[in-house]
């Protein structure tokens, strides 16, 4: 089944403890992206990647890192999480830029 898989689904952590949210797609898509969704703010893009080893900042990249060493994986790294990074995170992929996105089921992160 074609899908975008994010893990974990729920994560509660403490301030400053490094964490990684994994994202994997099995559709051979070139484009991948991370969004965060907050009440009243909609979805905001964190980082995106046009292809392997090519990543770029979105609208809200501060406090996040990404890597794209393989086509299928696009992990989101929070080196030192803070409470303002408590949010619902979505990974998405598409065959190429401009084409419709396939979304994962989301990761709800709470930082205390």
Which stretches of the chain bind other proteins, using CB under 8 A? 4, 33, 35, 40-45, 48, 50, 56, 58-59, 88, 90, 92, 97-106, 108
Of 63 and 106, nearer to other proteins (C-beta) is 106
Buried b (16+ CB within 10 A) or exposed e, 45-74: bbbbbeeeeebeebebbeebebebeebbbb
CB of 18 to other proteins, least distance (A): 25
CB of 90 to other proteins, least distance (A): 6
| CA–CA separation, 27 and 102 (whole Å) | 10
Degrees (nearest 5) of the Cα angle 106, 84, 36? Answer: 30
Of 69 and 100, nearer to other proteins (C-beta) is 100
CB of 102 to other proteins, least distance (A): 8
């Amino acid at each position: 089944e074609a899908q975008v898989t994010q893990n974990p689904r729920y994560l509660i952590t403490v301030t400053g403890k490094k964490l990684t949210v994994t994202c994997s797609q099995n559709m051979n898509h070139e484009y991948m992206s991370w969004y965060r969704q907050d009440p009243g703010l909609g979805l905001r893009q964190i980082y995106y990647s046009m292809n392997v080893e090519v990543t770029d900042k979105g609208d809200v990249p501060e406090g996040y890192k990404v890597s794209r060493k393989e086509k299928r994986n696009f992990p989101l790294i929070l080196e030192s999480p803070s409470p303002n990074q408590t949010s619902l995170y979505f990974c998405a992929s598409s065959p190429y830029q401009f084409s419709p996105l396939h979304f994962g089921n989301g990761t709800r992160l709470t930082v205390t």
